[in-house]
Structure 1
Amino acid sequence: MTDIKGIGPKKQAKLNEMGIYDIGGYIEYLQRYYEDRSNLVYIENSVDGEKQYFELEIANAAKTYFFKKNMSITRVVAKDDTSSINLVWYNDRFSPQSLKIGTKYKFFGKIDKSKKQISNPLFSKLDDDYIGGIYPIYSVIKGLSRKEFIQFKDTILDNTKIRSDYLPEKILEQENLVDINDMFKILHRPDSYLDLYKAKLSYVTRQLVVEHLANKLFNNIDNSYIKHKAISLTPYTESLDFELTQSQQQVLSEISYDMYSDKKMNRIVIGDVGSGKTIVAILSAIIAIKNGYQVAFMAPTELLSIQHHNNFKSYLNKFDIRSELLIGSTSTKDKRSIYRDLQNNDIDILFGTHALFQEKLEFNNLGLVITDEQQRFGVYQRKLLSEKGSSPDILLLSATPIPRTLALTMYQDLDLSIIDTLPSNRKPIESFLVSENMERRFLKFAVKQIQEGRQVYVVCPRVSDDEDSDVNSVENIYKRYKKFFEGRIRIDYIHGQLDVESKTRKQQLFANGDIDMLIATSIIEVGIDVKNANLMIIYNANYFGLSQLHQLRGRIGRGNYQSYCIFVASDGKIEDEKLKFIETNNNGFEIARKDLELRGAGDRFGVFQSGFTSDNMYEIYDEDLYSRVNRIVMNLFEDKSYESNIELKKQIENKMLEYKKIILN
């Protein structure tokens, strides 16, 4: 990449830190979200509290005022044909100095009509497309500005053919998909929302075709199965201190049928947060164990693995079932002992993360693999196990409730079970939608909960302050709260950029009650049960998807205390239909249906805000999309055109390598 103008060894090193090592990697590094900078407005016609695009003439030179220590305000007066306005920059006295009196510039920022000012606006010359149009926002690291990143990317797009398309031209025409080279160009610099929608649809279709084709190919190879003898689960259910719901009993019956039949189980259980999927999985594990097989139970994080093990160890011990835990922090001595006992068939069920697939680990007689919240990697997990000479049943658990018809389309290669009722003893969470100007009131409420011995989650959409975003960040809220509470409560923060050890330690401290308030990004969405946490505050709630808000809210309400969730709307978003709906609804399946309805045919993929990274791509629940993917896969599979398609084979291999890296690291 150093052949590209402006990219020297230092910039190359920064790009490497972002996971970009070559031209292809640069092109495939997609946006975090898009910002609409296309609609030019006049000062008088602008909407108070919203970010907008203005073309203004500079009326006077920049003036800087200093106050406190190292703090400054720089003001410039600008005008258009309808009015004049103050442009204000905080702690940035250099950028506005380039603005020349009598010259027109483009400005983009949020207007405050009561103060007659626009705070920290972005600006550019009239002939610069930095403002005007649909603008991609990328995650970059210190030492590389977004503007530089986009300049390098534009050079690449203008001078490089990305690759040959791995989907046949006939399929592109039939499914109205955009050519792969045009697709990436549109994703990086869209001219219209219609073009962007088509490009996003084409991108995610390609990604899912590769995954589904890999799934189909692998399922075709692996036809062996385990047939279990029927056992009575009555002694095991009667020893629980609660009764299974009718929905849990039905799902357990479906799983039992699979395990007793002449076929391999390959089933996904979808249930709302707190619906009791884990105990159903444990009872399924008992069927395998009592038939002489071993079970691997995998969770996405170490803490969740620890929680599962702690919750069920004593219960399993009652039936002479030995369970162990294997995670990254397990001592070398204990690991050796687990490896030995596992090979000798002395361990019945092993809890852990994807570390369970490391090469040194060998099961004696693996019969069932349970995977919690990571169904995306199911294909590769089975591939790894088959390479070890194992062919176990597969049970996947998902806490993302989606309508049955859509689930059947999404998971066509899996049998589907749904737990659609919650245990009767769970208290409904009380939810409130408020504006940010009520912050002092809800923080006083938080203090009251903490004084009563409870704990609080605070969720923000961003890790740090953006140069062009006015949403709350973890870093900003942490500083603000430290100042507000003045040491009266114990506050800490957590986000995805911290190392694994720090994240694990902080979550454990919170679980142990050593932290009163944990400020976090959506990283806590898949987290451990903290029964003492009964309050969640979600800032800029409109920036999250409806289903994601429900998942986050599900982190509280796990104990016997009444729980509360406060959705804090961004300026001007208090009437948001999405937020009003979740304020009054706790049913995950109803929320999922509403989520689909609100997206509508024109914005199913969140065109107006979201980017399309590999992280959020799997949050797309669209029946038409999955029908299209299944159609394409069937065409490729039936005419066997994939066999001679070198580029498509390469994509499947790359996807498997990506999963291997995620699973084994």
Structure 2
Amino acid sequence: MKKITINDLKQKSIRYIKGVGESRESLFKKLEIHNLFDVLTYYPREYEDRSSIKNIADLQNGVPCSFEGTIVSNVSITRPKRGMTVSRVSIEDSTGKITAIWFNQPYVKNSLKLGDNYIFFGKAERKLNKLQIVNPVFEKASSKDMKKSLKILPVYSSTKDLGQNIIRSVVYEAIKIINDIELEDMIPLSVRDKFKLPDRTYSIKQIHFPASVRDIESARFRLVFEELFMLQLGLLSYKSLATDTRVGIKYTHIDQMEDFIKSFPFELTNAQKKVFVEVEKDMESSRVMNRLVQGDVGSGKTMIAVLALFKAVKCGYQGALMVPTEILAEQHFKSIKSLFDCFGVSVELLSSSLTKKQKQLIVEELKEGKTDVVIGTHALIEDYVEFKQLGLVITDEQHRFGVRQRTILTEKGQNPDVLVMTATPIPRTLALILYGDLDISIIDELPPGRKPIKTYSVNEAMRERINNFVREKVNEGRQVYIVCPLVEESEEIEAKSAVVTAEDISKSVFRDLNVGIIHGKMKSSEKEAIMKSFVSGEISILVSTTIIEVGVNVPNATVMIIENAERFGLAQLHQLRGRVGRGDEQSFCILFNQSNSKVAKERMKIMTHSNDGFVISEKDLEIRGPGEFFGTRQHGLPELKIANLYKDMEILKQAQESAMEIIQADPGLMKHNELKKHLAAYFGDKVTLS
């Protein structure tokens, strides 16, 4: 039997699949489905179990199920209002009777014949002690090929004009292509045998069109294991290449460190002291430091970076701090420069908004070693940026940078130490696995005197009261953030946009106050001007997109209002809330929740009850499905398509254990050429593995 690899599947366009033309191709692209591999790994989010038939008398309220019955009335059609039709028919079996109702499907009248038997599937509900079922799917009980019933059918995440039947048929055609070939297995035989994993082709077929619930479980275990095994193998391979085979810089003890710490306008917390001891120990060892420092919003991670940079510079090396936004880069530059100035450490800011001449001067001074520390955005990884002796690389907000970007920056020095910081708290056990290429430090304490932010979830009925509260705070001299999920209005998503909200409130309810707006589509110079006005207090109310999620520090801002809060991830809501509460005054976070769904209400409850980022991240993992970490995809790593990091923790541990055994026995995968090849195909160009 012919074998086929991941790369072979990726090279076959979705147009290769029967039933996919130009228009369907563009619809599938909206779901990030471009090729045969994408289709086969577009896993169902749930299933409809139509495989067992129940008696009408046994149907349970709100539970999807199949039943067989005889049509005992003609289909009646009513038109309660213009543009709407309601079709009704009575169905019975030997145990009871039920009414089926279809909205805007008048064609069912010609599909159902009085006296004939049909199999129906849908959710039954009891109204006024009578059973009814709305919009059930059905087919004749005598049909030889039961396409719609007596099966377990996959349910996929879809998009407008791409319904379940289309997705199912395209996936079915894709599976027909691999029927007569064997998908090369990425997992070594020894690992497959140890965990009794079924083969890959079987698992792909059964995850989409399972014969039984047991087949779903077996296929899912195999595919989840594979996904997590490859992720761990990639991270551990990168770690072994990044640390085991290279000798790092061995920094020495710095006498000036104590004086430097004493010069701070505050005292370090015990947690900060503990974490810096771990960082210093790494720096003074001969191995390359690869450490993640995670801490809640406002826990003081930046000071760990400052201490590490000071040590690197005083030992004769240069340091680089890469951050995701220009606003954050500028804030770091100002605060760090003020701390370093008295100790003879030169600091420069490098960002894309600088003129060509300004950039050229900074780059020249870096290359000549005249600049000790450079703070910047992605501009730092451009080819033209060179260092005389780069000894320390720090990236802030790790989820915004990938392993690949971090690597590009580290390659500008001779095995520099690497420090990664994130304010997205992750449960420690998960962090150890997720950041397999990093050692972990946690700042688990906030500076003294920080008041917990009072958080409230409200609906539109509270709008006027909240507006009055905003006015009251502004009159007291405080400032307010209003965050919206979109930049401009979208027809498909009903969510308040930053542009429309800013226009509304500046012309109506707050027309006498100074309202500003900032979003990602603005020019850097415009964003910079707005932020300066807000920091200086000229702007009282700043309407923004999530651009202010990371690092903006305005102690006078005490109110954070988040529109359509249900559209944000929990960790993102926590990050946004962390923009207030930075001064001595009591701060408030108001979450406008426009959804009545159980999940949305549960998430708002978590936010109003907890200010602890670690608790929130646990809940976020519990609630969120596979594919995303904390509301943002993990840049630089393959997306998880089926694994759920919360529910699949046990499989994650097994996968990591297996990956570790292989890497420890064969660090460069020299004896596992096939596995190395699969790994490169799995990660694409996101991680260099050789």
Give the TM-score normalised by structure 2. 0.73
What is the alpha-carbon distance in structure 2 between the residues aligned to residue 364 and residue 508 of structure 1? 34
Q: Structure 1 residue 635 and structure 2 residue 661: aligned?
A: yes
The answer as to whether partners of 1:369 and 1:393 remain within 8 angstroms in 2 is yes
Indicate the residue corresponding to 1:76 in structure 2: 86
Which residue identity lines up with residue 165 of structure 1 in the other structure?
D
Q: Assess, with a 3 A threshold, how the Cα gap between structure 1 residues 200 and 574 changes in structure 2: closer, same or farther.
A: closer
Indicate the residue corresponding to 1:100 in structure 2: 109
Query: Structure 2 stretches of 5 or more lacking a match?
Result: 1-12, 92-96, 113-117, 140-145
Indicate the residue corresponding to 1:294 in structure 2: 318
What is the alpha-carbon distance in structure 1 between the residues aligned to residue 455 and residue 126 of structure 2? 29
Give the Å deviation of 1:348. 1.6
Q: Assess, with a 3 A threshold, how the Cα gap between structure 1 residues 477 and 356 changes in structure 2: closer, same or farther.
A: closer
What is the alpha-carbon distance in structure 1 between the residues aligned to residue 553 and residue 167 of structure 2? 40
Indicate the residue corresponding to 1:439 in structure 2: 460
Indicate the residue corresponding to 2:275 in structure 1: 251
Indicate which of 190, 196, 200 corresponds to 1:170: 190
Which residue identity lines up with residue 439 of structure 1 in the other structure?
E
Q: Structure 1 residue 179 and structure 2 residue 199: aligned?
A: yes
The answer as to whether partners of 2:553 and 2:579 remain within 8 angstroms in 1 is yes
Give the Å deviation of 1:342. 0.9
Give the Å deviation of 1:285. 0.8
Indicate the residue corresponding to 2:645 in structure 1: 620
The answer as to whether partners of 1:215 and 1:379 remain within 8 angstroms in 2 is no
Q: Assess, with a 3 A threshold, how the Cα gap between structure 1 residues 275 and 188 changes in structure 2: closer, same or farther.
A: farther
Indicate the residue corresponding to 2:173 in structure 1: 155
Give the Å deviation of 1:371. 1.4
Comparing 261-270 and 556-565, the one that deviates more: 556-565
The answer as to whether partners of 1:431 and 1:567 remain within 8 angstroms in 2 is no
Indicate the residue corresponding to 2:143 in structure 1: none
Which residue identity lines up with residue 534 of structure 1 in the other structure?
V
Which residue identity lines up with residue 23 of structure 1 in the other structure?
L
Indicate which of 260, 263, 274 corresponds to 2:298: 274
The answer as to whether partners of 1:299 and 1:352 remain within 8 angstroms in 2 is yes
Deviations 1:174-193 (A, max 9, x none): 23445333444455556646
The answer as to whether partners of 1:218 and 1:383 remain within 8 angstroms in 2 is no
What is the alpha-carbon distance in structure 2 between the residues aligned to residue 298 and residue 567 of structure 1? 34
Q: Assess, with a 3 A threshold, how the Cα gap between structure 1 residues 11 and 320 changes in structure 2: closer, same or farther.
A: farther
Q: Structure 1 residue 653 and structure 2 residue 663: aligned?
A: no
Q: Structure 1 residue 194 and structure 2 residue 217: aligned?
A: yes
What is the alpha-carbon distance in structure 2 between the residues aligned to residue 205 and residue 504 of structure 1? 45
Comparing 616-625 and 256-265, the one that deviates more: 616-625
The answer as to whether partners of 1:267 and 1:414 remain within 8 angstroms in 2 is yes
The answer as to whether partners of 1:474 and 1:493 remain within 8 angstroms in 2 is no
What is the alpha-carbon distance in structure 1 between the residues aligned to residue 205 and residue 233 of structure 2? 21
Query: Structure 1 stretches of 5 or more lacking a match?
Result: 67-72, 89-94
What is the alpha-carbon distance in structure 1 between the residues aligned to residue 576 and residue 126 of structure 2? 31
Q: Structure 1 residue 566 and structure 2 residue 591: aligned?
A: yes
Q: Assess, with a 3 A threshold, how the Cα gap between structure 1 residues 638 and 201 changes in structure 2: closer, same or farther.
A: closer
Give the TM-score normalised by structure 1. 0.75
Q: Structure 1 residue 343 and structure 2 residue 363: aligned?
A: no
What is the alpha-carbon distance in structure 1 between the residues aligned to residue 547 and residue 123 of structure 2? 29
Which residue identity lines up with residue 422 of structure 1 in the other structure?
L
> Structure 2 matches for 1:22-171, cutoff 5 A?
22-28=35-41, 30=42, 34=45, 37-38=48-49, 46=61, 59-61=75-77, 63=79, 65=81, 74-78=84-88, 96=105, 98-100=107-109, 103=112, 126=139, 133-138=153-158, 148-160=166-178, 161=181, 163-171=183-191
The answer as to whether partners of 1:296 and 1:370 remain within 8 angstroms in 2 is yes
What is the alpha-carbon distance in structure 2 between the residues aligned to residue 20 and residue 329 of structure 1? 35
Give the Å deviation of 1:361. 1.4
**Partner-residue secondary structure (3-state), 2:593:** strand
Indicate the residue corresponding to 1:231 in structure 2: 255
The answer as to whether partners of 1:534 and 1:564 remain within 8 angstroms in 2 is yes
Q: Assess, with a 3 A threshold, how the Cα gap between structure 1 residues 262 and 525 changes in structure 2: closer, same or farther.
A: same
The answer as to whether partners of 1:164 and 1:647 remain within 8 angstroms in 2 is no
Which residue identity lines up with residue 650 of structure 1 in the other structure?
K
Deviations 1:317-366 (A, max 9, x none): 34333222223333322222222111011222112234322222111110
Indicate the residue corresponding to 2:10 in structure 1: none
What is the alpha-carbon distance in structure 2 between the residues aligned to residue 631 and residue 406 of structure 1? 14
Aligned residues: 621
Q: Assess, with a 3 A threshold, how the Cα gap between structure 1 residues 158 and 208 changes in structure 2: closer, same or farther.
A: farther
Comparing 404-413 and 283-292, the one that deviates more: 404-413
Q: Assess, with a 3 A threshold, how the Cα gap between structure 1 residues 287 and 480 changes in structure 2: closer, same or farther.
A: closer
The answer as to whether partners of 1:410 and 1:626 remain within 8 angstroms in 2 is no
> Structure 2 matches for 1:326-405, cutoff 5 A?
326-374=350-398, 380=404, 383-384=407-408, 387-388=411-412, 390-405=414-429
Give the Å deviation of 1:275. 0.8
Percentage identity across aligned positions? Answer: 27
The answer as to whether partners of 2:309 and 2:319 remain within 8 angstroms in 1 is yes
Give the Å deviation of 1:392. 0.7
What is the alpha-carbon distance in structure 1 between the residues aligned to residue 168 and residue 491 of structure 2? 16
**Partner-residue secondary structure (3-state), 2:304:** helix
Which residue identity lines up with residue 100 of structure 1 in the other structure?
K
What is the alpha-carbon distance in structure 2 between the residues aligned to residue 110 and residue 311 of structure 1? 63
Deviations 1:275-314 (A, max 9, x none): 1111221121111112221111112334433332244333
Give the Å deviation of 1:164. 0.9
What is the alpha-carbon distance in structure 1 between the residues aligned to residue 610 and residue 496 of structure 2? 31
Which residue identity lines up with residue 676 of structure 2 in the other structure?
K
What is the alpha-carbon distance in structure 2 between the residues aligned to residue 485 and residue 407 of structure 1? 44
Give the Å deviation of 1:393. 0.8
Which residue identity lines up with residue 610 of structure 2 in the other structure?
N
Indicate the residue corresponding to 1:424 in structure 2: 448
Q: Structure 1 residue 4 and structure 2 residue 4: aligned?
A: no
Which residue identity lines up with residue 654 of structure 2 in the other structure?
R
Q: Assess, with a 3 A threshold, how the Cα gap between structure 1 residues 303 and 102 changes in structure 2: closer, same or farther.
A: same
Give the Å deviation of 1:52. 6.7
What is the alpha-carbon distance in structure 1 between the residues aligned to residue 262 and residue 456 of structure 2? 39
The answer as to whether partners of 2:558 and 2:587 remain within 8 angstroms in 1 is no
